[in-house]
Structure 1
Amino acid sequence: MPERGVVQTGSGQVRGVLNNGVWSFKGVPYAASPEGPRRFGAPEPAESWDGVRPATAYGPSVPQRPMRGLVADMFPMNPVQGFDALHLNVWTPDPSAKGLPVLVWIHGGGFRSGSGNDELYDGSAFAGDGVVTVTINYRLGVEGFLYLGDRAPDPAVTGAMGIADQVAALRWVQENISGFGGDPSNVTIAGESAGAMSVATLLAVPSADGLFQRAICQSGGADKVNGIAESSRITTRLLEKLGATGDDLTPLFDASAEDLLVVQDAMAAELASGEFVHLYGVPATLATIAFLPTSGTDLIPEEPLTGLARRSTTVDLLVGENADECSIFLAGVPDDIVASMGRAKLATWLGEGESARILAHLGEALPDSAERDRWIWLESERQFWSPVRRLALTNAARGGRTYKYRFDWASDLHDGLGAHHVIELPFVFGTGSTRQAKAIARNLPENLVHAVRTAWVDFIHGRVPRLPDGVLWPAYTSESQMRVRLAEERISTVPDIDELGLDEAVTLERIS
């Protein structure tokens, strides 16, 4: 008879921990450490072990820099880092159960930071609702998204090794999750910010077909990819900074993780300054993040929205955004600096004439707002609202059941930031009492926590999400574009419109 709390995986046995009725298994390898010849290549199967491996503590996080500004307090960097970080964590109500739905969470962090080990993503509450929950680490920054073309150790995944890691983790789930009580044919993938962008990208990755049935995208669409031309320019700049010449990639392969992080920081500063357009090109500088997944490759053959439109099977999608997404990124920046930076960037993207037209349009659309608030709205529309809307419309148009929301609750912890980026996370995971969540928001209203968690759990179980009064969420369709407004005072269904009317003022694809 198997020992209680011990699960057999394809690499060996792991022993979990029982706490308050939920079993957790932490630091379980899903792929081999991407070192030496595996560096910048496809993930390879985890090495096997003898005996029973304790799965009682999180493994290392991927090498990274701490986040900056207010977000740094909300997402403190895991001090234990290393190449051997392709691990995952599992929470289950009962390893001996059969056929429970599975949630696989992909963390955010701008494709250059973050960890599936964050206490904010503890899966205990989901497990308590009958959902086997998995959080993963994946390669980030240069290590995860450098494009090398035919010079790569594995050209099939070059420019998106981090996405290949996510696919490998999903394959691990297919092969092993039944041992934890989960149903491999009933998998939902979910993520926030760069995690949501990863989920949206996976919708168009051929090798991910059949690995999941539903998807949740929180504050992220399918637009954050570079084409080969943009990625090639970024690679050229990286190699220049490393001192590589010609076809000699030795300085890259010999560089330590710290060396690459130093260069990555320098390139991020160049992108943020807006003074290096001649090196990166306008499409690359729009991202402000150099190392994004590269489309036009074997792994990601075309831009994700195009790939999603061609997909042969449908996927259910729950997607949405927050009402004040970008306020957090401008926290602490003086109003005059916000305004001058915004004007300069808009002129770089669109030219002086078009920029002036957009500024005039914003003034008309938001006549009573401060200029700072106009920039927050513009950036929220550009980076989040518009991509999320396009993703919802694309999935709905091809017949996938689609549900859309806007989260609209503000904590008094960070006065003036409103419903900022990441604020919904403690509601989704039910982790409002954690130290990390308390840096994001305080005094979470219980009715809104219950409403959010009920909707997410319904969706993961394959049901239509419910409103607090039991009424079902409306499906988002091309004809009836309705979203649910998640707010404390009243949860309601409203038309999903572009409040700024920017689609008429400018083609948003030019600045997305």
Structure 2
Amino acid sequence: MTVFRTRSGAVRGRRTARDPGVVVLRGIPYAAPPFGADRFGAPRPAAAWDGIRDGAAFGPVAPQSAQLPGAPSWSPGDEDVLSLNIWTPGTGGDGLPVLVWIHGGAFVLGSSAQPDFDGTALAGEGLVVVTLNYRLGFEGFGHVPPGADGDSCPDNRGLLDQIAALEWVRANIAAFGGAAGNVTVAGQSAGATAVACLMAMDRARGLFRRAIAHSAVNACATPESAARITREVAAAAGVPATYDGLVSATPGALVDASDAVADRYRGDPVSGQRHYDPAIYGPIAGGDTLPLDPLTAAAGLGAADVDLLVCHTTEEYWLLDAVGSSAKITTEEQLAVFAADFELTPELLDAYRELMPGSPVLDVFLAVYGDMLFGEYSSRLAESHARAGGRAFLSRFTRRRDGSGERVRAWHCADIPFAFGNLDEESVHFLVGGPPGAVDHDLSKRMTRAWADFAATGDPGWPAVGGSTDAVRIWDTAGEDADGAQDAFRAGWRAAGLPLLTP
């Protein structure tokens, strides 16, 4: 066991069984519990402690209803939810590059304790890896009206938590062997959108020099839509949509009310865009904390000094269909309603039909919706950043697997166990199609190495977006040669335009 000293106190870590050269420390508080008098407020510094804190266990997860494989669930009364974990091959003063991971989960579920986010393999590549919890759902992203005393609660409290964690890293990571001036912030899905938001936030300026975004999601709320969701959640919780009413509801009551609102949209086929995937929370763009949505901000010059690495999978939305969280669009009539709800052109649907001859309507819907939410949006983030003068790198995950008579596609989340080097974790076998083979481990090593190289130097190993090549790295067990299939789908979006979605 090894003891490290932070500015708040000493913490004891343990060498990992997978790699004795790596020490892991779990459950270190980076901010005070965001409840009681601090509920709905900006994060405050964590209290110092005496003696040596044991870093053996992950901290409590944020309030949520999800039960994720291999990860702890939230229990009422769990309050010290703003904690982080560190995997390090260093001992202090080593100047190692740092990777800070922000988990996904539609801004309502997930935690840093998920087994696919174990940082041992990446630390073995010479990184100090930090993973963190942050406020989710209404606690983190719900709009809270001002109280009677005139004080207002900030929007995007979950993003402010992430900034607090990055500030903690800047102040303390040298003690764990990391370089405070060489930090990469990374995330997937909602976590990737959070990364893109941090790039657009003045409060996060200077806290990281590089960013990795896997499958960023096209969904930022407006102040108006966020206020509307607050009213719906408050009604479902049986409280007034005021500060006093909302603070009187327990965190569990707001989780249940949020689930009820989402379920109502899911069950109502005439409820518009939210029917297809009722993710009711997202970063609120257009206010003090986040003036612009990430794609608009990427076209500006504010984050041109941050290197950006983007990846998406080529069959994103098939996962959401497989786990039953998406609408079943199986007829041409339903597909036409879907297109009308999102103001998609008939020409765009025709382009997908032509590129997917003989495919059922459901597959056409999943392809279009997945690209609209994730694939095309992620690609445009990279391209907009490059046009604004920043360095951006683009990659696609295309690896499929057939096993036990059932195909596992290159779907949402499947790339992350590869990049983290955690293919042998049983909890990820559903995502990757069972136990890995030799070619899978080889692909994982290449992806892990690319992350490590990018975090260390800003160069993942292929050309940046721009110039005459616009190179895209393809992640597949068959090799890394460019695949033009996705570019054919992208042509339809270039003609039709990409709608910015509002949860």
1:179 alignment partner in structure 2: 175
Of 368-377 and 77-86, deviating more is: 77-86
Deviation at 1:400?
1.7
Which SS does the other structure have where 1:497 is aligned? helix
CA 1:253 to 1:372, structure 2 compared with 1: closer, same or farther past 3 Å? same
Query: RMSD across aligned C-alpha pairs, in angstroms?
Result: 2.8
Does the 8 A contact of 1:101 with 1:130 survive in 2?
yes
Do residues 243 (structure 1) and 238 (structure 2) align?
yes
Do residues 124 (structure 1) and 120 (structure 2) align?
yes
Deviation at 1:367?
2.1
CA 1:276 to 1:45, structure 2 compared with 1: closer, same or farther past 3 Å? farther
Which SS does the other structure have where 2:474 is aligned? strand
Deviation at 1:286?
7.1
1:271 alignment partner in structure 2: 265
Does the 8 A contact of 1:409 with 1:418 survive in 2?
yes
Do residues 412 (structure 1) and 402 (structure 2) align?
yes
2:12 alignment partner in structure 1: 15
Deviation at 1:156?
7.1
Query: For 1:363, which of 342, 345, 353 is the aligned residue?
Result: 353
CA 1:46 to 1:489, structure 2 compared with 1: closer, same or farther past 3 Å? same
CA 1:269 to 1:58, structure 2 compared with 1: closer, same or farther past 3 Å? same
Deviation at 1:98?
1.8
Structure 1 CA distance for aligned equivalents of residues 5 and 236 of structure 2:
46
Does the 8 A contact of 1:92 with 1:131 survive in 2?
yes
Do residues 296 (structure 1) and 291 (structure 2) align?
no
Q: What's the CA shift string for 1:383-418, capped at 9, x where partnerless?
A: 111110110011111222211111111233582341
Does the 8 A contact of 2:234 with 2:257 survive in 1?
no
CA 1:338 to 1:122, structure 2 compared with 1: closer, same or farther past 3 Å? same
Deviation at 1:263?
0.4
In the superposition, the TM-score normalised over structure 1's length comes to 0.88
Deviation at 1:452?
1.0
Structure 1 CA distance for aligned equivalents of residues 83 and 310 of structure 2:
27
Deviation at 1:510?
5.6
Structure 2 CA distance for aligned equivalents of residues 306 and 154 of structure 1:
31
Of 297-306 and 413-422, deviating more is: 413-422
Query: For 2:220, which of 219, 225, 229 is the aligned residue?
Result: 225
5 Å-filtered alignment, 1:318-333, equals 318-331=309-322
Deviation at 1:372?
2.2
Structure 2 CA distance for aligned equivalents of residues 260 and 461 of structure 1:
41
2:423 alignment partner in structure 1: 432
Does the 8 A contact of 2:5 with 2:11 survive in 1?
yes
Q: What's the CA shift string for 1:457-501, capped at 9, x where partnerless?
A: 1111115223xxxxxx11112754321111111211356725253
Structure 1 CA distance for aligned equivalents of residues 32 and 26 of structure 2:
16
Structure 1 CA distance for aligned equivalents of residues 27 and 73 of structure 2:
14
Structure 1 CA distance for aligned equivalents of residues 276 and 147 of structure 2:
27
5 Å-filtered alignment, 1:7-156, equals 7-19=4-16, 20-66=20-66, 77-78=72-73, 82-151=78-147
Structure 1 CA distance for aligned equivalents of residues 156 and 149 of structure 2:
13
Structure 1 CA distance for aligned equivalents of residues 99 and 149 of structure 2:
32
Structure 2 CA distance for aligned equivalents of residues 399 and 55 of structure 1:
42
Equivalent position amino acid for 1:411 in 2: R
CA 1:271 to 1:207, structure 2 compared with 1: closer, same or farther past 3 Å? same
Q: What's the CA shift string for 1:22-47, capped at 9, x where partnerless?
A: 11111000000011121111000001
CA 1:336 to 1:154, structure 2 compared with 1: closer, same or farther past 3 Å? closer
Which SS does the other structure have where 1:492 is aligned? coil
Which SS does the other structure have where 1:439 is aligned? helix
CA 1:52 to 1:115, structure 2 compared with 1: closer, same or farther past 3 Å? same
Do residues 163 (structure 1) and 155 (structure 2) align?
no
CA 1:286 to 1:234, structure 2 compared with 1: closer, same or farther past 3 Å? farther
CA 1:47 to 1:158, structure 2 compared with 1: closer, same or farther past 3 Å? same
Structure 2 CA distance for aligned equivalents of residues 156 and 301 of structure 1:
17
Equivalent position amino acid for 1:13 in 2: A
Which SS does the other structure have where 2:146 is aligned? helix
Equivalent position amino acid for 2:144 in 1: L
Which SS does the other structure have where 1:58 is aligned? coil
Does the 8 A contact of 1:98 with 1:182 survive in 2?
yes
Identical residues among aligned pairs (%): 33
| Structure 1: segments with no counterpart, 5+ residues | 467-472
2:436 alignment partner in structure 1: 443
Do residues 257 (structure 1) and 251 (structure 2) align?
yes
Of 226-235 and 490-499, deviating more is: 490-499
1:469 alignment partner in structure 2: none
Structure 1 CA distance for aligned equivalents of residues 62 and 323 of structure 2:
29
Number of aligned residue pairs:
490
Which SS does the other structure have where 1:301 is aligned? coil
